[in-house]
A and B are shown apart, each in its own frame.
Chain A
Amino acid sequence: MGGLQKKKYERGSATNYITRNRARKKLMLSLPDFRRLCILKGIYPHEPKHKKKVNKGSTAPRTFYLLKDIRFLLHEPIVSKFREYKIFVRKLRRAYGKTEWSAVERLKENKPAYKLDHIVKERYPTFIDALRDIDDALCMCFLFSTFARTGKCHVQTIQLCRRLTVEWMNYVIVSRSLRKVFLSIKGIYYQAEVMGQLITWLVPYQFSHDHPTDVDYRVMATFTELYTTLLGFVNFRLYQSLNLVYPPKLDSKAESELKEDDDEDYAMNSESYTEKLSALSSSLARVVSSEEEDAKLDEFPDEGEDMEKMEAREKEQKLLETQKKIFEGLKFFINREVPRESLAFVIRCFGGQVSWDKSVCIGSTYDVTDETITHQIVDRPNVDKQYMNRYYIQPQWVYDCVNAKMGLPVEDYFLGVTLPPHLSPFVEEKEGDYVPPEKLKIMALQRGEKPEEKRLAIMMMKKKEKYLYDKIMFGKKRKVREGNKLAAKRKAHDDAEKAKKKKARK
């Protein structure tokens, strides 16, 4: 045969992929450094469609990266920083070994450091891209801020995470963007709507947790490194959009209120300001101090839109506004045994005022003896001293109100009463699915009906009307009954089939 012969594995998918070790050698980095670089730059391994072709005939499981991605990595300036750091570690170890302490000091002063700003800008070219990916960042930052400061991972990272999460919570409070809360056995799920994006994040409980051993801490720390940078920039931009001062400062009025003599009892001087901020009990300072105005929606008469749609939107907007002010005008007091931070966050998000006992944390604005407190949140079976004009309720009331988007009747949440189940706001029931009776009650309340009144009204109907009403109800119930019957039939059929198959196999 004449001409150039085509050899196998020289073209096509075999040359588009590169194994992890080859990529590492091309970049001249160690494996942990390579992993760190890939995580920071957002380079992920790919599974090729035809593994045999890419692996040159063998099916051994290997990690493959796209060759173009690795070539792109070669241009990254922080690769040289990694190499410098490796050299720095080597020199430091030598100096320690030779006990040259002056050299150690000198080296430590000139420790090579890198910044990830350009990577954030490259990965998220616009602000909305960054907002879309902020879920992960929030989860990691909240998680790391609950770690103990033992030095296992950098204490600085933990402090930075704490600062960023506090800033985020303060933003959500000011912008009133919290929409859903769900208390689960894992942690607390929050959902907020920021600039049109729905952001869900998970916050662990404040109780101590044992750290699992099969989690790679270095990988998580690298993710956190990137995410703290991202979250910081996002926070800056969000604060800017609301005309708030960044880094956040307490409002001058609030600051004077909080000035106490025994500031030193709570925290060191350097940390007391951040602690006050993290208390979430006072408002933030603005760049241009203005009164909060209710922004009115501009009316843009669109050609394609009818009046109906515009009216519907206006109604929605009004509804949203009322939903943001569930706890407006109410004063809460949180007892010691209740998780303070979560409740303070939720209550303040919806306009309420909140305080706690002085010995719990810095930043309490009023005492338990204040007469104007409307609700006191308690989790014990009974309380010693009961004040007259305040309700004593369990913490679930707050969360359920938030999920129901209205103030629920307080009677079901009194002390010692068996609580109604805490339903998940994240589940959307379709028609025909099982809807728990509690949810039905809440939906009825939202519609504006009260259950007892309904029953009374039904009892008081005339016979003719009652007859008609029964017929309508029967029709409605029939649909549901039929649905159930079908489901049962299907289930029976499926079981029979399974039994048959088993018999045949045997």
Chain B
Amino acid sequence: MAARRRLKRVAASQPGFLGFKSPSDPTASVGSRRKRVNKNKKKNWSKYSDVNDVDEFLEDIRHQERTTGGLLSEKADDSLYFLDLGQPEKPQPQAETPQADEGRKRKGKASRPLRIDLILKPDSLVPPPKDILAYQQPNAKKLRRIAQKAEQLAAKGVVPRKQKLLLNRRPVDRTVKKAVAEANNNPDRDYYDIWGQEPKVLADPWYLQQTGKKLVKRPEKLNEKPSVLPAVEVIAPGGSYNPDFFSHQALLQEAHQVEVQKKKQEDKLERQLAINKQDRATEETNLREEVEGLVEEEENDDEELTPSKEDDEAALAAIAVTQKKTEKQIKKEKAEKLKEQQRLTSRRQTEQQQQLFQLRSIKASIRQQEEKTKSKQMRRRVKQEAQKAQPRRLGKLKFQAPDLDVQLSDELAGSLRQLKPEGSILKDRFKSFQKRNLIEPRERAKFKRKLKVKYVEKRAFKEIT
């Protein structure tokens, strides 16, 4: 449809195109097709009025004034026209001109003003308007009166707006290096009594809340400690620099147990991954596997037939169809079922009656069950308590318990001077934070290559090999 409209426009705009209504027809004038517009609206005053003629006229007047300094119609005839009386006699100016000409020719180009200067000069013949401020003479009396009035007002406190703004402007306080002094880890920083002062309530709490300046209360749950473990766990008495024999042995035993566990894990892995030596592939077995079925052998025909027969029979038996039951068989089954039910009900009755005499054993069994549940409950409670002391799983990595700091018997120092400290307190603190669920277990970030490294031999190397 758009294409058709386009064509229509193009065709209609061709010169000599005859539309349906002929142009000679008086009714088909362009004026009647003009849309009716309300010229009383302010919007339409400038929109639908044509002021081009007035504009042209005014432009023309301005042009005349700029170029000739006034309207041409008002100018005197002498300024516009002159009487051409022919050429005047030449010899007189010729005597003067050679010297003047030489002088001018030498500096002819220099004496003429530059074209850009001429362009930039104002070339309008309309004179600039008068600067009335330059003609104003200060009236001393008036000025004095104004000053007195200002003084009086200032004494009262009324000050003009500009002055007021100036006074309200706070002076610039040049605090040099305030960032350095303000830093939190500045060694000379001040401390004050943070718990002693009461917070100053400057404004209405409603106002503070509405303007968003109210301090948010800390949720109660955040004040709970994430773990029941104490902050500093003292090492066992065997960790003393000069320990008692038995406590040192106990500590060594603990460390030994940890090692034994580790070894057990490793051994378990080994066992699970172990394969029989005979099962390992050798060249012979490889060859046999590859050649299977390719080489023809005669003895295998009989052996192949019998296994296939047995398979067929078994398959037939599985697909055997069940035959219909006779009436007799159905009746028999019903009678049997009834008998069975009767037997069961009578048995149940006798059992109920006999339970009266089994009260003691029933009580004993109930007591046993209760004890079992109680012991289970206790075990579960103990387990829960133990769980609380365990570090929670807080991230991708599991918590690795730190190695026990222990010195072997031959490393023990006899005196403080010969003591070699074991373990790093930094690591100990880090692990303690993880154990108490303050941070998640972290390990050092590995360097992962985003792009593979291409191995290129140096040219010199290539030549050698």
A-side interface residues toward B, CB under 8 Å?
35, 39, 42-47, 61-63, 66, 68-69, 72, 75, 109-117, 120-123, 125-127, 130, 133, 135-136, 139-140, 143, 154, 156-157, 159-160, 163, 182-187, 189, 200-202, 204-205, 207, 209-216, 219-220, 223, 225, 228-229, 232-233, 235-237, 240, 246, 337-339, 379-380, 394-396, 418-419, 421-424, 426-427, 434, 436, 438
Contact = CB atoms under 8 A, between A and B. Distances in A.
A423 B244 contact: yes
Given A127-B195, A215-B426, 6 more contacts: A44-B439, A69-B222, A112-B179, A183-B416, A212-B427, A419-B415
A214 B443 contact: yes
A213 B444 contact: yes
A424 B234 contact: yes
Given A115-B184, A219-B439, A185 B239 contact: yes
Q: Interface size for chain B: under 10, 10 to 19, 20 to 34, or 35 or more residues? A: 35 or more
22 contacts: A61-B396, A63-B394, A109-B179, A125-B195, A130-B195, A135-B230, A136-B231, A154-B185, A160-B185, A183-B416, A185-B422, A186-B428, A202-B425, A205-B419, A214-B443, A215-B427, A216-B430, A220-B429, A228-B184, A236-B192, A421-B242, A423-B244
A186 B240 contact: no
A119 B299 CA distance: 92
B194 to A, nearest CB: 5
A338 B182 CA distance: 40
B396 A187 contact: no
**9 nearest A-B pairs in the assembled complex, by CB-CB distance:** A424-B237, A159-B187, A135-B231, A47-B392, A421-B244, A232-B191, A379-B417, A185-B422, A75-B216
Interface in B341-395: 392-395
B209 interface: no
A187 B242 contact: no
Contacts of B122: none
Contacts of A214: 427, 443-444
B403 to A, nearest CB: 12
B183 interface: yes
Contacts of A120: 194
Nearest to A270: B188
A214 B441 CA distance: 11
Interface in B416-440: 416-417, 419, 421-430, 433, 437-440
A338 B439 CA distance: 38
Contacts of A438: 244
A184 B231 CA distance: 17
Contacts of B392: 46-47
- Binding site of B, secondary structure by majority: helix, strand, loop or mixed? loop
A45 B394 contact: yes
A233 B194 contact: yes
A474 to B, nearest CB: 25
Contact of A337 (B195, B417, B429): B417
A421 B194 contact: no
Contacts of B439: 35, 39, 44, 219
A157 B185 contact: yes
Contacts of A154: 185
Contacts of A69: 219, 221-222
Nearest to B197: A121
B189 interface: yes
Interface string B215-231: 01011011100100011
B113 interface: no
B177 to A, nearest CB: 6
Contact of B423 (A130, A185, A233, A396): A185
A113 B186 CA distance: 11
A216 to B, nearest CB: 6
Contacts of A421: 240, 242-245
Given A115-B182, A185-B422, A189-B234, A338 B243 contact: no
A104 to B, nearest CB: 14
B193 interface: yes
B186 A156 contact: yes
B249 to A, nearest CB: 11
B240 A183 contact: yes
B416 A395 contact: yes
Contacts of A42: 222
Contacts of A72: 216, 218-219, 222
B414 interface: yes
Nearest to B183: A113
A228 B185 contact: yes
B305 interface: no
Contact of B237 (A35, A68, A423): A423
B222 A43 contact: yes
Contacts of B232: 135-136, 139, 189, 200-202
Contacts of A232: 189, 191
Given A121-B194, A201-B232, A338 B417 contact: yes
B211 to A, nearest CB: 14
B247 interface: yes
Contact of A240 (B186, B193, B423): B193
Nearest to A42: B222
A210 B195 CA distance: 39
Given A63-B395, A115-B182, A126 B246 contact: no
A200 B231 CA distance: 8
B222 A380 contact: no
Nearest to A69: B222
A185 B234 CA distance: 11
A121 B421 CA distance: 38
A427 B192 CA distance: 38
B218 to A, nearest CB: 5
Given A72-B216, A379-B415, A422-B242, A63 B440 contact: yes
Nearest to A191: B234
B393 A47 contact: yes
A45 B394 CA distance: 7
B65 interface: no
A436 B245 CA distance: 9
Contacts of A394: 415-416
A186 B195 contact: no
Most buried by A among B187, B196, B246, B430: B187
Contacts of B182: 113, 115
Interface string B306-347: 000000000000000000000000000000000000000000
A154 B223 CA distance: 30
Contact of A156 (B187, B241, B422, B425): B187
